[in-house]
Amino acid sequence: MNYARFLTATSTARKPSAIRVWTEILNRAPKSVISLATGSPNPNTFPFKTAVITTKHGQTIQFDEEIMKRALQYSQSAGIPELLSWLKQLQVKLHNPPTVHYPSSQGQMDICVTAGSQDGLCKVFEMIINHGDNILLNEPVYSGTLQALLPLGCNIINVPSDGYGIIPDSLKEVLSRWKPEDSKDPQKNTPKFLYTVPNGNNPTGNSLTSSRKKEIYELARKYDFLIIEDDPYYFLQFNKPWIPTFLSMDSDGRVIRADSFSKVLSSGLRIGFITGPKPLIERIVLHTQVSTLHTSTFTQLLVSQLLHQWGEEGFLAHVDMVIDFYRNQKDALLAAADKWLSGLAEWHAPTAGMFLWVKVKGINDVKKLIEEKAIKREILMVPGSDFYVDSSVPSPFFRASFSLASPEQMDVAFQRLAQLIKESL
């Protein structure tokens, strides 16, 4: 893989921050070393001394005075070592990427911790996208992704999808305007990457099948583009076995995968991780060195201690419990939809995630219904137009989340919505 051709001039120009390098040397140094190098503040001046965090199962995570001093201090930009090593083992267990033992220059799997996966994805986009570059994605798409991409001035090419995600034949048709060898000519402007949320796509709730992923990966090889696998709902798949990931079939080192703990541990702790070929992960870390410096040391230590207490089996047992909760929530929302919206709307049961994508019959654009009338009836949903590049195009769809409301509240919400739809027809 020629990774240099994917990088922007800005990313290519990034060099290690000297102060960050010295901080990392200090973090690895024995206690006997006398440091007059870094500008790390003296932790004895901080007001926090100790902490004990109790988990739901009665276990405790203890920060004594020494650990607290470390938790409140600067740390490595890629992530603290013990968390990184745990995450690497998890990725090998879950995905077993072919690139694990590749030479570093040839796309060896690497990983870095980011302040939530959105932070990592923004850095990935800024690493790759020049103004005018072509990129591929499938609408409807998470609005946060759109607002990260649009200011970068790229040409967003939509690849049609259905209830099983991106349609490989449609991707072939989109790519047919180029020849495979055009990727070697910068003037041809072949697509740099395909971005997709493969499991429980936000907002549609659908998931890419394994066979489709294999076809898409082969097209990526043929036309030499990267795949950005944004998978925040990987741990919220309702059916087992879980669908194999793009990372698990990445024999070339062309997949950049974004994972998140937001849905299973905490959204407020802001811990995500990016897995991908070492030459590209290194570029993300260089960006982190001059932006956030690193993800919060405190939250990294908290999560790391929890994961080490649990072990991989304990973590996956917790994930199963979370899945059970959201499966019940999904079933409750589907029951409410069947009860109140039958004949008024249509939908498909989501395979993962926390959203139901609903098409209202007989109303070309539900924007006013959702943004004005529904709010007056004290029900909140998101109009479908928010998930498209051109949000001004009328959409009969809306997105309903089943993460927070109780089954009783879901029932009331759809009862009110059904009345509104009838009044609007």
Task: Going from the first residue of the chain to its last (425 residues), give the mean pLDDT of each consecutive group of 10, the final group possibly shorter.
Answer: 95 94 88 89 96 94 97 96 98 97 92 97 98 97 96 97 96 98 95 97 96 98 98 97 97 98 97 97 97 97 97 97 98 98 97 98 96 95 96 96 98 97 94
Residue 133 tokens, joined: 């570059």
Report strand pairing: 226-230 vs 193-196: parallel
Give pLDDT, residue 26.
87
Residue 167 tokens, joined: 């349609």
Query: What does the alpha-carbon distance between residue 267 and residue 288 come to, in Å, rounded to a whole number?
Result: 20
Q: What residue has token string 């939509």?
A: 158
Query: What does the alpha-carbon distance between residue 244 and residue 247 come to, in Å, rounded to a whole number?
Result: 8
**Beta-bridge mates of residue 61:** 53
Of 401, 410, 420, the C-alpha closest to 204 is 401
pTM above 0.85, yes or no: yes
Query: What does the alpha-carbon distance between residue 20 and residue 17 come to, in Å, rounded to a whole number?
Result: 5
Residue 93 tokens, joined: 């267990």
Cα separation values, 188 from 132, 158, 312, Å: 12, 19, 46
- Residue 100 exposure: Cα atoms within 13 Å on the Cβ side: 13
Give pLDDT, residue 204.
96
- Residue 397 exposure: Cα atoms within 13 Å on the Cβ side: 20
Query: What does the alpha-carbon distance between residue 26 and residue 34 come to, in Å, rounded to a whole number?
Result: 9
Residue 219 tokens, joined: 């097209």
Give pLDDT, residue 23.
86
